[in-house]
Amino acid sequence: MIEIKNLSKIFNTKSGQVVALKNVSATIENGDIFGIMGMSGAGKSTLLRCLCLLEQPTEGQILLDGKDVAHLKGKELLAAHRQMGVVFQGYNLLMQKTVAENVAFPLKLTAYDKVAVQKRVAELLELVGLADKAESYPSQLSGGQKQRVALARALASNPQVLLCDEPTSALDPLTTKSVLELLKDINKKLGVTIIIITHELSVVKSICNRMVVIDNSQFVEQGSTQAIFENPQSSMARLLLGKED
Amino acid sequence: MADFFAQYGDLLLEGTLETLYMTFIPTVIAYCIGLPMGVLLTTTKQGGIMQAPRFNAVFGWFVNLFRSIPFMILIFFVLPFTRLLVGTSIGATAANVPLAIAAAPFVARMVEQSLEEIDGGVIEAARCMGATNWQIITRVLLVESIPSLLRGLSITIITVFGYTAVTGAVGAGGLGNIAFRFGYQRYQTDVMYATVILVVILVCIIQSVCNLLAKKFDKRNR
């Protein structure tokens, strides 16, 4: 379970303070596929960077099974990183490494058992349907395939949570559908909690069971996806759903 | 032609070998010093994985200081150090000292440039996987930039190669020395032309080999 508790992030810039997150709270249950939806500039990216521990919040906590991970340092931070897999919009694969080496990368950071690593990589590539591409390089793959590699890599260390930052924004509709199917499948098979940050309605609608709407640095609405889609309360949700003129 | 080679062949061969010696040894030493310097320049920058802007500014200034000293002056400037290190201040081995010192900050900037090309997202991805700074440097930065580093290597080798002509002119041997002695002091232009042709051929070979390696190691366009 992940609890986001009273999280705030304020950036000090030359032109003054910029509030990127204002006292946001949410609880994400184990096994959820949780959508965080908002327009550009709403604070989505900052929230993601806080969640994947690249950025420390100014205030508040991120509790992973009751333990605050938002303010860790050193070895504890490295260990916390390994409990979260992250998939990025731009894939961020190592271009000079093969698909198999990319997936093995997080494993090799800690493990030295070559055979075990190989076995795990084969398993993961099988899971994302790219077993035949193990020896290819990222430049030889399509966008959807690259995202599958990124997904396999993010899952390599058996994370509790999978964070997805606009995972399908660079993909065409058909590829988007197949990647979303895969995410759903992984959620079911591995029981991993998935958090998806996106501006695409269709993504949230098709796979998220719960969601929040973020607007102007705040969570303006949260609840089950179905309830929000049927009866949006906040003006931003109504706007996003096209229920407001 | 045959006469020419009979007379000067050995001299030119010796000069070529000396030039290559004065090119490759300083290049290797310069990389031993310059590569870590380049990594430090990149990683301590604002937003880098070990950001330390003040250190970066001072260190960058230090690198520029050495880059800005004209090579001819540097040779004389480091003479006492050269003598201390290799016991002599003349000959090809002595020339290696200023050559390496001049090339190291150059290498640092070349390496910095290569590492800068790496997409910040890839580095963040590695951080998200729990990679330490050392792992990011050795497994991401230096690996992802291999093709670019190899292209930088060719520029470095050719630059050092050019510098050897200067050390040659002040008595360190090599093709530069031959060109200077025969072409300038004795007006034997045929010998000088021969050295020029040799130099051009060597530069072409170095450039082609490096380009070939860079292409072979680059997995981005296949």
- Is the sign of the CA dihedral B81, B85, B87, B93 positive or negative? negative
Looking at residue A204, its pLDDT comes to: 93
Q: How confident is the model at residue B189 (pLDDT cuts 50, 70, 90)?
A: confident
Instruction: Give the separation between CA B161 and CA B87, rounded to whole angstroms.
Output: 24
Is some CB atom of chain A closer than 8 A to the CB atom of B2? no
pLDDT tens track for A79-106: 999 999 999 989 999 999 999 999 999 9
Inspect the interface and report whether the beta carbons of A54 and B128 lie closer than 8 Å.
yes
Chain A residue closest to B219 (CA)?
A96
Domain B2-217 has CATH 1.10.40.60: no
Looking at residue A53, its pLDDT comes to: 93
Q: Evaluate if residue B147 carries a pLDDT over 80.
A: yes
Q: How confident is the model at residue A111 (pLDDT cuts 50, 70, 90)?
A: confident
Say how many C-beta atoms besides its own lie within 10 A of residue A56's C-beta: 14
Mean pLDDT of chain B: 92
Q: Evaluate if residue B60 carries a pLDDT over 90.
A: yes
Name every residue in A having a CB less than 8 A away from some CB of B: 52-54, 78-79, 81-82, 84-86, 88, 90, 92-98, 105-106, 108-110, 137, 139-140, 153, 157
Q: How confident is the model at residue B38 (pLDDT cuts 50, 70, 90)?
A: very high
Looking at residue B220, its pLDDT comes to: 86
Q: Which among A86, A88, A109 has CB closest to B131? A: A109
Looking at residue B222, its pLDDT comes to: 58
Looking at residue A85, its pLDDT comes to: 94
Instruction: Give the separation between CA A27 and CA A178, rounded to whole angstroms.
Output: 28
User: What is the mean pLDDT of the segment spanning A29-43?
Assistant: 91
User: What is the mean pLDDT of the segment spanning A4-31?
Assistant: 92
What's the complex ipTM?
0.91
The minimum CA-CA distance between B207 and chain A, rounded to whole Å, is: 22
Q: Evaluate if residue B128 carries a pLDDT over 70.
A: yes
CATH numbers and ranges of domains, chain A: 1-83+161-170+192-245 (3.40.50.300), 86-158 (no CATH)
Range scoring the smallest mean pLDDT among A117-131, B21-35, B165-179, B199-213: B165-179
Q: Evaluate if residue A66 carries a pLDDT over 80.
A: yes
The minimum CA-CA distance between A123 and chain B, rounded to whole Å, is: 19
Taking CA atoms, B119 is separated from B47, B77, B124, in Å, by 13, 40, 9
Inspect the interface and report whether the beta carbons of A84 and B128 lie closer than 8 Å.
yes
- Which one of B122, B129, B221 makes the best mutation probe of the A interface by having the most chain A beta carbons within 10 Å? B129
Q: Evaluate if residue A78 carries a pLDDT over 70.
A: yes
CB pairs under 8 A between A and B: 73
Longest dimension (CA), chain A: 60
The minimum CA-CA distance between A106 and chain B, rounded to whole Å, is: 6
Is some CB atom of chain A closer than 8 A to the CB atom of B222? yes
User: Angle CA(B200)–CA(B201)–CA(B202) in degrees, nearest 5?
Assistant: 90
Q: How confident is the model at residue A29 (pLDDT cuts 50, 70, 90)?
A: very high
Looking at residue A245, its pLDDT comes to: 59
Residue A212 CA, chain-centre distance (Å), reads: 14
Instruction: Give the separation between CA A179 and CA A91, rounded to whole angstroms.
Output: 13
User: What is the mean pLDDT of the segment spanning B22-46?
Assistant: 96
**Domain range annotation of chain B:** 2-217
Compute the half-sphere exposure of residue B2: CA atoms within 13 Å on the CB side of its CA: 0
Q: Evaluate if residue B203 carries a pLDDT over 70.
A: yes
CA-nearest of A137, A147, A144 to A88 is A147
Range scoring the smallest mean pLDDT among A107-116, A203-212, B167-176: B167-176
User: What is the mean pLDDT of the segment spanning B187-197?
Assistant: 88
User: What is the mean pLDDT of the segment spanning B172-181?
Assistant: 86
Q: How confident is the model at residue B190 (pLDDT cuts 50, 70, 90)?
A: confident
CA-nearest of A119, A138, A134 to B220 is A138
Q: How confident is the model at residue B5 (pLDDT cuts 50, 70, 90)?
A: confident
Instruction: Give the separation between CA B23 and CA B95, rounded to whole angstroms.
Output: 10
